[in-house]
Amino acid sequence: MNLSRSLFVFTHTSHTILYVLLFSLLMTACSNEKDHGSPSRLKETTTQLPIDSSLLQRIDAYVHKREMDSLLAIHVYDITAGKTVFGYREDSMVPPASCMKLLTGMAAMKLLGTRFRFSTQLGIKGNITDGVLHGDLCIVGGLDPLVTSSDLQPLFRRLQSKGIKRINGHIILDLGIREYPSHEEHWIPGDLKRRKYGFFFQGEKRILQEIKYLVRSQGISCADSCFQWGPHPRQSLLIGKIQTPLSEVIRTMWKNSANEKSESLLYALGKYSGHKDSLRKHGIEYMQRFAKEELGWDKVTIHDGCGMCIYNSMSPTLLTSILRYGHQHPAYFRILQEMLPTSGTDGTLLRRLYTKNTKGKIKAKTGTLTRENGICSLAGYFYDSQKHLIAFAIMNYHLPIADAQLYQDHLCQLFVADTR
């Protein structure tokens, strides 16, 4: 099991107090822990510090020397000085591809808090007599995007240690979602793969099949009629739980650009913003609200959380606004620094920008869509020769991916040309 994820087991001994916990209370206490203070919207700050004029000259010379028939949009912003270094069609609305995940992840941190943990819990309500549970077994899920059937096996083995051989009651599945994630109408079939979704996003039929196996593999007898979907009983004895930090979900989204995990998080945004159905729709609505209220942008088109739809649109200026917003909040910025791919080192930048002059100097989210038009984006941070933190976004459209990445990599080489 991933060391960042935790399995908690509650046991009885003659020296311990039996804690009967409210599942709903525990879910709130463990999962909704927020950062201290409520992060405010993006602040516009300027200083008397100068921008790096040589950086501006290098970018300007390259962009205007290499004019192309395809659409190019760039924004480079000096966060330390609070000033734009360079802009070229910076307000053009372009499909961001997987750079959309920057918005999804930032919206999730705002809504849930950086210390949020998805919690999957197993509990019982009733008495155990001669190996028979006279009551209900409860499985409560919090839409954890990463939990798999294998992760749940140690949790269900706790039933065996309780001596349960038969259930005379119900097995209640309170999982927050029953349907298989919907396919965005503009995706190409096969864009997202079912097998890459977590356990709770496999659809009602497959989830039920797996839960039956998990229970019966512990030698527990129960009829098919015992299994039912619905809310769990208010007072239940917690046997154990699995917790996954939000930061680990964001890692898979940003570092490895996991589309299925990003879409799963979209459903979680819908749930935790206060809705019980149409979770995907409400997740998108929350992202739009976040962009407007926190970043000051209402001109953004969102069709999904992963960026696979070619009708998503945002500008380089919006992408740098997301990065600036993240920097203004230390808890967010720590996650950005840790979870964004590092040039020539890991994630989707492992095989890009790996030369001595660029390796380790740039942290950025990549975005590529190999459609007939060619969509390629890159957005992230670097430090200039003055040690100023710079946010940048490069967006190419209607250009073959290999050519776009080469163009972006040349620009990035110019970004850090004077740094050590």
Given 223, 247, 271, the domain boundary residue is: 247
Shared domain check, 284 and 315: yes
Give the pLDDT of residue 14: 32
Cα-to-chain-centroid distance, residue 135: 37
Shared domain check, 183 and 78: no
Shared domain check, 183 and 64: no
Shared domain check, 169 and 22: yes
CATH code for the domain in which residue 200 is found = 3.50.80.20
pLDDT band at 30 (very low <50, low <70, confident <90, very high): very low
pLDDT band at 236 (very low <50, low <70, confident <90, very high): confident
Q: Is residue 333 a part of any domain in this protein?
A: yes
Q: Which residue has the higher pLDDT, 6 or 30?
A: 6
Shared domain check, 168 and 20: yes
Q: Is residue 46 a part of any domain in this protein?
A: no
What mean pLDDT, rounded, does the chain reach?
Answer: 88
Given 247, 275, 295, the domain boundary residue is: 247
Give the pLDDT of residue 38: 46
Give the pLDDT of residue 2: 44
Give the pLDDT of residue 187: 76
The mean per-residue pLDDT over the stretch 180-191 comes to 71
Give the pLDDT of residue 343: 98
pLDDT, one tens digit per residue, over 44-84 is 777 889 999 999 999 999 998 877 778 999 999 999 999 99
Q: Which residue has the higher pLDDT, 322 or 197?
A: 322
Shared domain check, 145 and 60: no
Shared domain check, 139 and 20: yes
Residue 215's domain comprises 6-35+115-247
Q: Is residue 58 a part of any domain in this protein?
A: yes
Given 247, 269, 298, the domain boundary residue is: 247
Weakest mean pLDDT among 14-18, 223-227, 247-251, 361-365: 14-18
Q: Is residue 41 a part of any domain in this protein?
A: no
Q: Is residue 40 a part of any domain in this protein?
A: no
Residue 31 has pLDDT above 70, yes or no: no
Residue 253 has pLDDT above 60, yes or no: yes
Give the pLDDT of residue 370: 84
Q: Is residue 420 a part of any domain in this protein?
A: no
The mean per-residue pLDDT over the stretch 298-307 comes to 93
Cβ burial 344-366 (10 Å sphere, 16+ → b, else e): beebbbeebbeeeebeebbbbbb
Shared domain check, 90 and 144: no
CATH code for the domain in which residue 409 is found = 3.40.710.10
Shared domain check, 135 and 103: no
Helix pair angle (259-272, 246-254), 10° resolution: 140
Give the pLDDT of residue 286: 98
Give the pLDDT of residue 189: 65
What pTM does this model have?
0.90
Q: Is residue 144 a part of any domain in this protein?
A: yes
pLDDT band at 372 (very low <50, low <70, confident <90, very high): low
Give the pLDDT of residue 11: 38
Residue 16 has pLDDT above 50, yes or no: no
Residue 25 has pLDDT above 60, yes or no: no
Shared domain check, 166 and 152: yes
Give the pLDDT of residue 342: 98
Q: Is residue 48 a part of any domain in this protein?
A: no
Residue 3 has pLDDT above 60, yes or no: no
Half-sphere exposure of 328 (CA within 13 A, CB side): 19
Provide the number of structural domains found in the chain: 2
Shared domain check, 119 and 108: no
Give the pLDDT of residue 177: 83
Shared domain check, 227 and 200: yes
